[in-house]
């Protein structure tokens, strides 16, 4: 997970990383506007790399560039979450299927198994942050095993949007006890080479997660994140 090629990162790339991180952490709050020149000053560079970075983040759906109003950090509304979860459901389920078709060895699946164990531990320890990290690692790895670069990109893109929602909802939501049962079932199906099982089980898992999340959003009247 680290960029161990430590070549002198360009300003544009740094701007992308920093802005993204600030948005995900909520330091740049949803709905707020920021002038290019402000951001430039904040990050200690000129407007040019800021503009380029903003353009990229715009195409990733994190913000919107509005002439004369600055860049606006986008909300994630419940309707957005519905859209996003639907996409994740479909694409990850396919990835699970493909992973099962690929007949990976246990060694290949070691990392995936590890994330499941981490989730168990995190739940024991009631450490929600750790659970969330491991959960994300599980899903990322699953998609990677599905061997479709474009799906990886798409999923990672929409995940950036989910992450903000998680920031708010993580501590509201009930302990995800059922969740790891699903993960194990998906894992087992992949290991055994049962594509349909892997697919359907993961789909069920995602639909469940979607239902839980939307329920929370409704109950707490969270109309934007």
Tell the burial category of 157 from Cβ atoms under 10 Å away from its Cβ (0-12, 13-18, 19+): middle
**Should residue 41 be labelled a site residue for a second copy when binding is judged by CB under 8 A?**
no
**Should residue 159 be labelled a site residue for a second copy when binding is judged by CB under 8 A?**
no
Q: What is the DSSP string of 145-175?
A: HTT-HHHHHHHHHHHHHHHHHHHHHTTTSPP
What mask of x and - would describe binding to a second copy in positions 56 to 95, judged by CB under 8 A? Answer: x--xxx------------------x--xx-xx--xx-xx-
Interaction site with DNA (CB under 7 A)? 8, 10-12, 35-37, 45-49, 51-52, 65, 67-71
**Should residue 7 be labelled a site residue for a second copy when binding is judged by CB under 8 A?**
no
- To a second copy, the closest distance from the beta carbon of 24 in angstroms equals 18
In this chain, which stretch among 31-39, 54-62, 135-143, 179-187 interacts with a second copy, using CB under 8 A?
54-62
**Should residue 196 be labelled a site residue for a second copy when binding is judged by CB under 8 A?**
no
- To a second copy, the closest distance from the beta carbon of 113 in angstroms equals 25
22 CA to centre of own chain = 15
Nearer to a second copy, 100 or 158 (CB): 158
- To a second copy, the closest distance from the beta carbon of 213 in angstroms equals 16
Mapped onto helix, strand or coil, the DSSP state of residue 63 is strand
Q: What DSSP designation does 65 have? A: E
Q: What DSSP designation does 30 have? A: T
Partner in contact with 45, chosen from DNA, a second copy, none, beta carbon below 5 to 8 Å by kind: DNA
In angstroms, the CA 147 to CA 143 distance is: 7
Q: Which two tokens stand for residue 86?
A: 């639907």
- To DNA, the closest distance from the beta carbon of 28 in angstroms equals 14
Beta strands 63-66 and 33-34, pairing class: unpaired
């Amino acid at each position: 997970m680290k960029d161990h090629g430590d070549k002198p990162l360009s300003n544009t790339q740094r701007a992308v990383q920093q802005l993204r991180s600030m948005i995900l952490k909520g330091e740049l709050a949803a709905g707020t506007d920021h002038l290019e020149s402000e951001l430039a000053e904040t990050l200690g560079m000129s407007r040019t790399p800021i503009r380029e970075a903003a353009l990229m983040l715009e195409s990733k759906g994190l913000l919107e560039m509005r002439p004369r109003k600055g860049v606006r950090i986008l909300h994630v509304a419940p309707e957005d979450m519905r859209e996003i979860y639907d996409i994740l459901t479909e694409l990850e389920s396919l990835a699970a299927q493909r992973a099962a078709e690929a007949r990976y060895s246990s060694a290949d699946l070691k990392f995936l198994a590890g994330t499941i164990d981490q989730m168990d531990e995190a739940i024991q320890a009631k450490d929600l942050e750790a659970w969330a990290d491991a959960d994300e690692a599980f899903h990322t790895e699953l998609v990677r095993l599905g061997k479709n670069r474009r799906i990886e990109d798409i999923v990672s893109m929409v995940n950036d949007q989910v992450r903000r929602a998680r920031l708010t909802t993580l501590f509201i939501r009930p302990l995800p006890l059922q969740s790891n049962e699903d993960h194990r079932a998906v894992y087992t199906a992949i290991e055994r080479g049962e594509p349909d099982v892997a697919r359907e089980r993961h789909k069920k898992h995602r639909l469940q997660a979607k239902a839980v999340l939307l329920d929370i959003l409704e109950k707490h009247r969270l109309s934007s994140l």
